[in-house]
Amino acid sequence: MITFPNAKINLGLNIVSKRSDGYHNLETVFYPIFIEDALEIIPCATAYKETPKFEITGNKIEGKPEDNLVMKALNLMKEEYPQIPDINIYLHKHIPSEAGLGGGSSDGAFMLRLLNETFELGATEEQLLMKAAKLGADCPFFIKNAPAYAEGIGDVLTPLDLSLKGKYILLVKPDLSISTKEAFANIKPHTPTLSATDICSRPIEEWKSLLKNDFEDSIFPQHPKLKEIKEQIYSTGATYAAMSGSGSTIYGIFEEPIGKDITSQFNEKFVWSGRM
């Protein structure tokens, strides 16, 4: 059985406070976008005593396969559902890594859903949400995979009546990565005057002056190329542009289809456009 884990963007992101556990409380809006990976599972051929395998193709992923959230999701489900048979796993990566798009989190959450559906395990949505939270802060979002206002470390989700249907999105990611330590280096927690969800309820034309990602103040001085990309996206006609999460992707939201006359202006490692 095959599924297609999709990415997300952050609409605004404010670092509200530092927690006693060393993490930070934030507030942001998660919005799904439909650039996708492909994830397939096939039961092993027991008659031939086939050894389970995990194959990754497409974009390169750093780290050991056993540390991938897909494998962690499988092991987590097997703890409660030992009837899951040995399987071969095939993951094709299209969503870039370390990009602020939640690709790894999506893969892990979709694996939970795929196992539940394929082997008719009967796990409820609430149970899947709890398991997803054990995988990572962004993972629960991809269980429901619908616009949501996120608080806490990104794991406290409130459904949001927000639609960008009919608009178009451009993703631009240069060949650089940003560590969590670097992203938080110059962050100054604060409570915003308007929350991301309040701003997102306003016309998108107002977002440019109101909807902010705090990581831009921390990261842009260290990586001026990202600021240049954001300014370039605006110059090509975007209604709104921003960094997604703490990754190195800058996205732009457009009212009209994004043609090659726009995408060809960006000579970065990863450029993608599509309909929202």
pLDDT at residue 22, rounded to an integer: 78
The domain segmentation of the chain, as residue ranges, is 2-159, 168-275
The tens digit of pLDDT for each residue in 150-168 reads: 999 888 999 999 999 999 9
Catalytic: which of 37, 107, 138, 214? 138
Low-confidence winner among 64-78, 171-185, 235-249 (lowest mean pLDDT): 171-185
pLDDT at residue 47, rounded to an integer: 67
CATH number, span 2-159: 3.30.230.10
Range 65-69 average pLDDT: 93
The tens digit of pLDDT for each residue in 24-62 reads: 899 999 999 999 999 999 999 876 778 899 999 999 888
Tell me the three state secondary structure of residue 79.
helix
Confidence of residue 180 (pLDDT cuts 50, 70, 90): confident
Q: Is 138 a catalytic residue?
A: yes
Q: Do domains 2-159 and 168-275 have the same CATH topology?
A: no
Q: Is 131 a catalytic residue?
A: no
Low-confidence winner among 43-52, 89-98, 100-109, 247-256 (lowest mean pLDDT): 43-52
Q: DSSP labels for 185-234? A: TT------SS-HHHHHTS-GGGHHHH--BTHHHHHTTT-HHHHHHHHHHH
φ/ψ region of 237 (left if φ > 0, alpha if ψ in -120 to 50, else beta) reads: left
Say which CATH class 168-275 falls into: alpha beta
Strands 54-58 and 87-93: parallel
User: Is it the case that residue 11 has pLDDT exceeding 80?
Assistant: yes
Report the predicted TM-score, pTM, of the whole model to 2 decimal places.
Answer: 0.95
Helix or strand holding residue 22 (H, E): none
Contact 91, 37 (CB under 8 A): yes
Of 196, 183, 242, the C-alpha closest to 24 is: 183
Catalytic: which of 8, 131, 212, 230? 8
The tens digit of pLDDT for each residue in 110-147 reads: 999 999 999 999 999 999 999 999 999 899 999 999 99
